[in-house]
Amino acid sequence: MQFTPLHPSFGAEVTEIDCNSNDQQSAEVLKEALTEWQLLLFRDQNLSDGAFLSFCRNFGQLELLPEPEKRHPDYPEIFNLSNVKPDGSLTHRDDPQAVFLRGTSRWHTDSSFREVPCLATILYAVTVPPVGGDTEFANMIAAYNSLSPEEKAEYRMKQAVHSYAYSRSTNPGKVEEMSAEQLAQVPDKTHPVVRRHDGDKGVMYLGGHVSHFAGEDIEESRTRVRELEERLTAINNVYRHQWRQGDILIWDNRSTLHRLTGYEIDKYARVMRRCTVSGSEPVLPL
């Protein structure tokens, strides 16, 4: 395997590998590389849904999304990120599924609303639009390092409330109601704003699931959170990925934020398969 940098700050393209292979030695190398590079890209892959699931399982136990209707019918660990209906037509932009997809245009880190958030996300491009639909990734290690000593000390003292219910409520349109049973599976969780990563590295742990800083006025705090995210993703620490069919991207959710860029969701098909690798330990403060 060869690793070629994607961005001066983070990320690497991995070549000389076929993701259909389930070579455990290669999987161990990739797991170490993910911590080092934070983002790994594999081009020109051709995997069945079953083969994609097998590849993802190399990285650890996989999560199940709280909403069963978004799961793959045969492989429930696969989350279908698609604007294509079962009959082949495209969703209207105000359809609940399209609203959910458009909601991913906010900076976020996957599953931060869990007691033990996920380790990584793996996304496989099955169909991509001819224009738009890129994904941006922000290095949150670099974000923490950009802070002044006083700011680092301030944010190390803060906790943030991560809420799946809140993030769904901010989607750009009407979404399907979750049942009380589904909501009970994802209660609000509080995590440090600065988390420890890979030894003694500090990471700013924010994103769209953050409702507010714990113990502060909610509305005022929400404004501050969004302003801070905007500032910390404008320091030359963002990689923008232009998808090609057959791309697989793996990113470390502990140390990055990501967001979808816009595309004509009711004009062009965009079909992605996603698996989320479970975390193994709670968020630890720096």
pLDDT digits (tens, 9 = 90+) for 15-67: 999 999 877 888 899 999 999 999 999 999 999 999 999 999 999 999 988 77
pLDDT at 49: 96
> Running along the chain, 286 residues long, what does each successive block of 10 average in pLDDT?
97 96 86 97 97 95 84 92 94 91 95 95 98 98 98 98 94 84 90 96 98 97 97 98 98 98 96 96 95
Please state, in angstroms and rounded to a whole number, the distance separating the CA atoms of residues 180 and 204.
32
Kindly tell me the burial class for residue 33, based on how many C-beta atoms sit within 10 Å of its own C-beta (0-12, 13-18, 19 or more).
Answer: middle
pLDDT at 282: 94
CB 278 within 8 A of CB 65: no
CB 160 within 8 A of CB 109: no
pLDDT at 218: 97
pLDDT at 233: 98
CB 39 within 8 A of CB 122: no
Q: In 128-228, which ranges are E strands? A: 135-139, 159-162, 189-192, 194-197, 201-204, 210-213
For residue range 227-248, what is the model confidence (pLDDT) as tens digits?
999 999 999 999 999 999 999 9
pLDDT at 247: 98
pLDDT at 185: 86
Considering only the C-alpha atoms of the chain, give the largest distance between any 2 of them, rounded to a whole number of Å: 56
DSSP 52-108: HHHHHHTTS-B---S-GGGB-SS-TTSEEEESB-TTSPBPPTTSHHHHHHHHTTS-B
Domain ranges of the chain: 2-277
Kindly report the CATH number that applies to the domain delimited by 2-277.
Answer: 3.60.130.10
Q: Give the residues across from 238 on adjacent strands.
A: 138
